[in-house]
Chain A
Amino acid sequence: MTTAPLPVSANARATTTRRGKQTARRLLIGAAWLTFALFLLLPLLIVLGEAFKQGVGAFFTAILEPDALAALKLTLLAVGISVPLNLVFGVAAAWCVSKYEFRGKSLLVTLIDLPFSVSPVIAGLIYVLLFGAQGYFGEWLSDRDIQIVFAVPGIVLATLFVTVPFVARELIPLMQEQGSTEEEAARLLGASGWQMFCYITLPNIKWGLIYGVVLCTARAMGEFGAVSVVSGHIRGLTNTLPLHVEILYNEYNHVAAFSVASLLLALALVILLLKQWSESRIARLHANAED
């Protein structure tokens, strides 16, 4: 009749631990949901709520107004120039970093990441110091009637600066992991450098490339601080969409500000979808490689 005390207490302890684990699990999931709702969902909902406060008509008036369309056009121009340039740079940088060993490589990688740790306002400031009226090249430029700062070229330059690292950063670890054996095989079989790149490298890095481009586009489209310094804020001329939001907001035109903001929010959600999609393709590549 005497039961050994040890198994019972061990059993009881296992049950309490299991029950404790279940409670902890529920509590943590609940806390995560609460954090998500409070920190991410609410800000998103309030943008939409404020935008449609006065109905769909006011929303469309705000986003179809000529100044808003001009801002959209300038934002697309900045994205259209900076993303392809940084794409080419990213591939070149990832290529030399991942395929070769050379002295100073880790310094180079640090330099590529440098724009991430520079405040966007400083990114704008340095171009004002170079190309502004009082800048180092100011006189030379004004003699030739070229305007960079407070004009479109300045906006493009500032956008380029803040988005330099995105593609390189995604490609470097991916290409390092893949190694160069496939490229070497292609070369030994007689492929030219260009053929090797198009038929071997490009298909291998395709999804990482898309991922980097998506992140780069998001930042280029939304950049505020750097662009704000060099823009000059001329409505219809040197205003990007985020700057247009600021102007409308400071004029207490909240419905219009949030309408344009919700347009940017929609673009951000599209970017998240594209990111999710390219991420799942990268994960699938990894799974295939492990099989």
Chain B
Amino acid sequence: MSRRTSPVIPGFGLTLGYTLVYLSLLVLIPLGALFLKTTELSWAQFIAIVSAPRVLAALKLSFGTAFAAAMLNGVIGTLLAWVLVRYRFPGRKIIEAMIDLPFALPTAVAGIALTALYAPNGPIGQFATELGFKIAYSPLGITLALTFVTLPFVVRTLQPVLADIPREVEEAAACLGARPLQIVRHVLLPALLPAWLTGFALAFARGVGEYGSVIFIAGNMPMKTEILPLLIMVKLDQYDYAGATAIGVLMLVVSFILLLAINLLQRRIAHG
């Protein structure tokens, strides 16, 4: 079944076997249990659970805020990647090193920090209060929390691609009379778009499943600011394992479709 390209290099059976056993025990079999548990439900029961108004509200909120956060990251991530790759300026190294802070910082810490910042009496939240709206305890707060935890994705996927575009291509376009906006549209955009989409999808997928940073800032009001992962938690606390499982499967199926889309995109980048 398998073709070994390097017959002199040992360890194929050992490493592949170990990888498969480890993955099966830790990831695949437990995830299988999730799907096995859903088979205890009839199709009608499953539909009834996932189409309950509270679930649909959470679904809309989770995917909506994750999408908004990924979009916001698409803008500020592109800005940061561009500035970090193209310009040399004081403090560049600090920004470069700190971009990954959201990946290194525990999400619970991010959650309470952002809540303190955006709460109605917080340093930024009080300005919103004066203007008559809320940041924390509203979908806007959830979006900002998701933007923080997924900030590195777009920056880090764009940076290497941006660094690889030869400056000569832009200069050539300028010499041929292209205006700056034309250069952006016809030279930079086509080269950056695949990586941008990858970063966007990664941020979106992570945002949909994110829990730790969101629950502090969300306020967790059913129907209003309750995200899907929290709803799973609520069902678990009520010992409603079937309900938690059904929502889990729903999320997993959507995540799987996203992962598939990311992989297809990456393949297209590699071959085009």
Q: Which residues in A have some Cβ–Cβ distance to B below 8 Å?
A: 17, 20-21, 24-25, 28-29, 31-33, 35-36, 39-44, 46-47, 50, 89, 92-93, 95-96, 99-103, 106, 108, 110-122, 125-130, 132, 134-136, 157, 160-161, 164, 180, 183-184, 187-188, 193, 196-197, 215, 218-219, 221-225, 228-229, 241-243, 245-246, 249, 254, 257-258, 261, 264-265, 268-269, 271-273, 275-276
Contacts and interface: CB of A to CB of B under 8 A. Distances in A.
A110 B99 CA distance: 26
A265 B205 CA distance: 25
B131 interface: no
A47 B109 CA distance: 8
A241 B212 CA distance: 13
Contacts of A268: 101, 104-106, 109
A33 to B, nearest CB: 7
Q: Chain A contact residues: over half helix, strand or loop, or mixed?
A: helix
B172 to A, nearest CB: 15
A89 B23 CA distance: 9
A111 B117 CA distance: 38
A33 B80 CA distance: 9
B239 to A, nearest CB: 8
B251 interface: yes
A197 B136 CA distance: 53
Interface in B80-132: 80, 82-84, 87, 89, 91, 95, 97-110, 112-114, 116-117, 122-124
B209 A122 contact: yes
A261 B99 CA distance: 19
Nearest to B213: A224
A245 B108 CA distance: 7
Contacts of B122: 46
A90 to B, nearest CB: 9
A245 B87 CA distance: 39
A158 B18 CA distance: 20
Contacts of B103: 215, 218-219
A28 B87 contact: yes
Contacts of A99: 5-6, 9, 11-12
Contacts of A20: 180
Interface of B: 1-6, 8-12, 14-16, 18-20, 22-23, 26-28, 30-31, 33-34, 36-37, 76, 79-80, 82-84, 87, 89, 91, 95, 97-110, 112-114, 116-117, 122-124, 147-148, 151, 174, 180, 205-206, 208-212, 216, 228-230, 232-233, 236, 239, 241, 244-245, 248, 251-252, 255-256, 258-259, 263
Contacts of A42: 117, 123-124
Contact of A113 (B98, B174, B251, B259): B259
Contact of A272 (B26, B82, B83, B104): B104
The 5 A-B pairs of least Cβ separation, nearest first, read A222-B106, A119-B209, A224-B212, A225-B211, A102-B2
A279 B227 CA distance: 36
B83 A275 contact: no
